[in-house]
């Protein structure tokens, strides 16, 4: 069971860009929960995550209350546990999520960071200052990430055969190797076609295989490599706040919903197993619309 906690923590660090403090907090919370499960092992015979049920979760909540934790701390520990189980569900480890009905103490809601459409435009235009193979690759990566809402791990895993230029779509394999077909707008496809026709051949070698996005060694770019690319462009165009590849995924979902897309449609595009995972964006769009209103309306002071 520990290996899945470590896998989840790596996901937090690499794909979500969680700070060291956040990673440490999640590690502490999840191992505390695991110790609770193990302490009950003689009675429940729990030796894998599929055996964790609502009864165990209820006893864990009771333990947190008995230990005198504040509402904020209990909420964080519950959120850590729910995040782990959502990850296990998306990864195909679980067939159902026992934390779905788990309630947290009311402490206010922390919403994901979303870029404005203006900041998105600045970010997507940042690589255009150069015409090197790496710069065109970077522009295609950024365009593809924002056009599709894919996770960074899904984008860097794309092979040439995964793109259908005629249908205007890409095929990706998400958590648990679940396949989904995502429509991609023409601009992103045009930049990708330019990269594939003119610049990828300059970067490729015998080790490149069918990978679309290559690094300077001619092999598939890594998630960490792309994270550094994104960070450098965000700093170059002076976009405030911390930006990770997941920020573009959040922005993709939020901008679709504010543009009128249905929640179910966005859920399908993001590859969320549960609609509850996608529902965070309904709160986010309300907040986003309020901010845009306050910035745009002449009497909104």
Pick the catalytic residue from 76, 77, 82, 246: 246
Pick the catalytic residue from 16, 74, 151, 255: 151
Tell me if residue 151 is catalytic: yes
Tell me if residue 288 is catalytic: no
- List, as one string, the DSSP characters of 146-204: HHH---HHHHHT-BGGGEETTTTEEEEE-GGG-EEEEE--HHHHHHHHHIIIIIHHHH-
Task: List CB contacts of 123: < 8 A, sequence separation 6 or more.
Answer: 115, 142, 233, 234, 237, 239, 243
Tell me if residue 246 is catalytic: yes
Tell me if residue 175 is catalytic: yes
- Name the H helices within 40-70: 41-44, 54-66
- Is the CB of residue 216 less than 8 Å from the CB of residue 205? no
Pick the catalytic residue from 16, 137, 220, 249: 249
Pick the catalytic residue from 76, 77, 175, 255: 175
CA atoms of 294 and 301, how far apart (whole Å): 7
- Is the CB of residue 59 less than 8 Å from the CB of residue 81? no
Catalytic residue numbers? 151, 175, 246, 249, 272, 281
């Amino acid at each position: 069971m520990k290996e899945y906690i470590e896998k989840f923590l790596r996901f937090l660090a690499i794909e979500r860009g969680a700070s060291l403090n956040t990673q440490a907090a999640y590690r502490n919370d999840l191992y505390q929960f695991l110790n609770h499960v193990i302490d009950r092992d003689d009675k429940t015979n729990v030796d894998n995550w599929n055996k964790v049920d609502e009864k165990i979760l209820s006893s864990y909540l009771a333990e947190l209350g008995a230990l005198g934790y504040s509402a904020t701390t209990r909420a964080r520990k519950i959120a850590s546990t729910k995040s782990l189980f959502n990850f296990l569900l998306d990864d195909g480890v679980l067939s159902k999520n026992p934390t779905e009905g788990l309630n947290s103490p009311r402490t206010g809601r922390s919403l994901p960071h979303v870029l404005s459409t203006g900041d998105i435009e600045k970010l997507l235009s940042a690589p255009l200052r150069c015409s090197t193979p790496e710069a065109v690759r970077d522009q295609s990566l950024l365009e593809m990430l924002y056009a599709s809402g894919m996770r960074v791990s899904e984008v860097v895993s794309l092979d040439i055969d995964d793109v259908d230029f005629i249908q205007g779509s890409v095929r990706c394999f998400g958590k648990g190797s679940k396949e989904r077909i995502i429509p991609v707008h023409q601009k992103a496809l045009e930049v990708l076609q330019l990269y594939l026709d003119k610049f990828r051949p300059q970067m490729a070698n015998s080790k490149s295989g069918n990978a679309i996005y290559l690094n300077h060694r001619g092999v598939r770019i890594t998630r960490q490599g792309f994270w550094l690319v994104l960070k450098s462009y965000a700093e170059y165009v002076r976009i405030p706040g911390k930006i990770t590849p997941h920020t573009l995924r959040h922005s993709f979902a939020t901008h679709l919903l504010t543009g009128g897309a249905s929640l179910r449609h966005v859920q399908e595009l993001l590859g969320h197993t549960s609609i509850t995972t996608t529902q965070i964006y309904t709160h986010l769009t309300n907040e986003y619309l309020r901010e845009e209103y306050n910035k745009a309306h002449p009497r909104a002071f």
